């Protein structure tokens, strides 16, 4: 498994583009993104569990119910949510793209992200969609990744190269996510592409399984968005034998998928709105996986813990507090807590009680950009990891004037 460049264009037969069309008239930021496969591809997706869902979610669900897609179009700056004509707008975006690319309208994945409750004007998209399609390129991944950003401060891309049946395969992706991030699928927009040959059914199984330990384990602010989804297209151009069952080839594919999604998870968590630090909570020694995940999520979601990490305060009591209310069946008198970063590690809690430690050393460790919160439950063999970020003054500033 080798990390490579290329994002959504790393896989054979995929091209991408991104440009500014004017959905956000007060800025020149790119706001329209496109990813396209040379041939129809197996497709799968997972969606937000928020009862308020953006119109693009409804349209995409309908389109890929066939298990096939060939392109994904996404606009930023407007979520196309809670609008009476939202579905019609989303379908028209697909229709315009269908005409430009000569593909089926039903083979288009559509997504939108941005402000909720404002009508999406199609005029800027209609004016630029020809240019968007004409500019598709095997090197267009960076432009596409930039065009899906809202409050994100950095592009988020990852890709891997691997082998199945002696064939060189690739899997890559791009993501956006900075605010309204919480472990309750989905929590961001993620577009994945691969040249592996796999049935839609096995692709859906792979994605649905993977998100439980990756995208469902991120939290920035406790809010679950209305538009978010993770989609994947697999066009089969690598030439491997079609994956139809949970065999060795499927397991290799799962490893590749997990490698890319974990990289994207870390990028999303580290780029949380106003964040200065990436937090990774690793839980070991749990009685079962459910307990491990519940504890990891509970700690990473704690606003008090996130605030302490912003202040580089080794307030381990907030870790214990979060474990105590997260709902997991845990013997708190067995819990160990260690903080770790590039500056070293320090044990702050043993068997549910504090131990002597250097506050100066702890401060030095917690001033780093990446911090690991290591929790030992000492009750079994299960483990889990969750990702988050610190809670800063800037989070409030960003969301206090989001619409402007």
Instruction: Give the integer Cα–Cα distance in Å for 52 and 224.
Output: 10
Closest CA to 48 of 147, 190, 174: 190
Query: In 3-state terms, what secondary structure has residue 147?
Result: helix
Query: In 3-state terms, what secondary structure has residue 300?
Result: helix
DSSP 323-381: HHHS-----GGG-EEEEEETTEEEEEEETTEE----HHHHHHHHTSSEEEEEEE--SSS
Closest CA to 274 of 369, 394, 397, 403: 394
Determine the number of helices (DSSP H) and then strands (DSSP E) in the chain: 11, 16
Contact 11, 37 (CB under 8 A): no
Q: CA angle, corner 218, sides to 374 and 90, nearest 5?
A: 170
Contact 148, 113 (CB under 8 A): yes
Burial category of 25 from C-beta neighbours within 10 Å (exposed 0-12, middle 13-18, buried 19 and up): exposed
Instruction: Give the integer Cα–Cα distance in Å for 337 and 373.
Output: 7
401's CB contacts (< 8 A; 6+ apart) are none
To the nearest 10 degrees (0 to 180), the angle between helices 248-270 and 200-210 is 40
Query: In 3-state terms, what secondary structure has residue 177?
Result: coil
Query: In 3-state terms, what secondary structure has residue 274?
Result: coil
Burial readout 101-118 (b: 16 or more C-beta within 10 A, e: otherwise)? bebbbbbbbbbbbbbbee
Cα 37 from chain centre: 21
Q: Is 252 a catalytic residue?
A: no
DSSP alpha helix (H) spans, 178-333: 200-210, 248-270, 289-300, 303-310, 317-325
Catalytically annotated residue among 81, 187, 214, 261: 187
- List residues with catalytic annotation: 187
């Amino acid at each position: 498994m080798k990390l490579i460049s290329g994002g959504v264009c790393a896989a054979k037969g995929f091209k991408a583009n991104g440009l500014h069309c004017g959905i956000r008239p007060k800025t020149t930021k790119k706001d329209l993104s496109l990813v396209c496969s040379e041939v129809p591809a197996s497709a799968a997706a997972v969606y937000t569990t928020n009862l308020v869902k953006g119109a693009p979610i409804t349209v995409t669900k309908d389109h890929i119910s066939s298990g096939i897609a060939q392109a994904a179009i996404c606009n930023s700056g407007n979520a196309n949510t809670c609008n009476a004509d939202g579905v019609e707008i989303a379908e028209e975006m697909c229709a315009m793209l269908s005409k430009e690319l000569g593909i089926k309208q039903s083979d288009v994945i559509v997504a939108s992200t941005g402000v909720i409750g404002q009508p999406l004007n199609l005029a800027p998209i209609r004016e630029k969609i020809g240019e968007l399609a004409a500019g598709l390129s095997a090197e267009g991944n960076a432009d596409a990744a930039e065009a899906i950003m809202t409050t994100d401060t950095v592009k988020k891309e990852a890709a891997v190269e691997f082998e199945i049946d002696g064939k060189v395969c690739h899997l890559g992706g791009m993501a956006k996510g900075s605010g309204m991030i919480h472990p309750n699928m989905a929590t961001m927009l993620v577009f994945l592409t691969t040249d592996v040959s796999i049935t839609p059914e096995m692709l859906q199984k792979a994605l649905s399984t993977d998100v439980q330990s990756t995208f469902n384990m991120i939290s920035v602010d406790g809010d679950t968005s209305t538009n978010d989804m993770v989609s994947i297209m697999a066009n089969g151009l690598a030439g491997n034998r079609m994956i139809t069952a949970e065999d060795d080839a499927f397991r290799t594919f799962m490893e590749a998928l997990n490698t890319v999604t974990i990289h994207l998870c870390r990028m999303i968590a580290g780029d949380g709105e106003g964040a200065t630090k990436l937090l990774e909570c690793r839980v070991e020694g749990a009685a079962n996986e459910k307990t491990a995940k519940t504890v990891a999520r509970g700690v990473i979601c704690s606003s008090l813990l996130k605030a302490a990490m912003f202040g580089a305060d080794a307030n381990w009591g907030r870790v214990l507090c979060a474990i105590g209310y997260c709902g997991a069946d845990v013997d708190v008198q067995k819990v160990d807590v260690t903080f770790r970063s590039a500056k070293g590690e320090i044990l702050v809690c043993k068997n549910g009680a504090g131990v002597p430690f250097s506050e100066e050393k702890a401060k030095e460790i917690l001033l780093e950009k990446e911090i690991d919160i290591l929790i030992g439950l000492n009750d079994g063999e299960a483990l889990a990891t969750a990702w988050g970020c610190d809670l800063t003054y800037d989070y409030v500033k960003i969301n206090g004037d989001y619409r402007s």
